[in-house]
Amino acid sequence: MRSLSSETAAALASPGVPLCLLIRMDLTVPVFVSTTGVNVEWEDSVWLGVDQVGTVEQIVDTAGERGPLRFQLSVRNEVLALAMESADEARGKRCRVYLAVHHPQTYAILSSELIWSGTLDQMTLTWGDKIGQVNVTAEHRGVTFGRAKPTRYTNADQQRLYPGDLALQYITSQANHQDVWPAAEWGRK
């Protein structure tokens, strides 16, 4: 169970508590986007306020759920230029979505909770006159864990990853070795 600060608990208890999504895409140049209309500071980073969020798919938080996340951001062309620098290299980069709680009067971020994590799959950009769109599809992190791993627990793979490390040189002979234990009577003498 997560404990909340008294200030966050008070903000959540008040009617009309301001919330926003913080979306972090770890591209070559990390992109920090918030669903507010203004830039906000959180954890030593400036999260760029998008002019409006087109859509963010509903995030389903159930056991075994590994659905992708699709979101569309309408952003100023300056922000779109940042995303364009890394659009070709986006596949496989980490993406995280946080739910942030704002202070009701100052709108400063009080706390944030990670609600979705995964890797970017596709990112397409559409330019407009002043505002463009970033369409992103990301895979849930559970999909990555479900894939077969390309390495094995063998000496050959250990040598490929860490040349000179002999920790697994006897793994095959030890796996096939039959241990012979004395009979129970031997221990009773």
pLDDT-derived band at 165 (thresholds 50, 70, 90) equals: very high
**Nearest alpha carbon to residue 64 among 119, 122, 148, 145:** 145
Most confident range (mean pLDDT) of 45-49, 82-86, 127-131, 158-162 is 158-162
Q: Which residues contact 5 (CB under 8 A, 6 or more apart)?
A: 110, 111
pLDDT-derived band at 135 (thresholds 50, 70, 90) equals: confident
Q: What's the chain's average pLDDT?
A: 78
User: Among 91-95, 148-152, 167-171, where is mean pLDDT lowest?
Assistant: 148-152
Give pLDDT tens digits for 69-100.
Answer: 788 777 777 767 766 766 667 788 888 888 88
pLDDT-derived band at 1 (thresholds 50, 70, 90) equals: very low
Give pLDDT tens digits for 52-64.
Answer: 556 666 666 666 6
pLDDT-derived band at 148 (thresholds 50, 70, 90) equals: confident
Length of the chain: 189
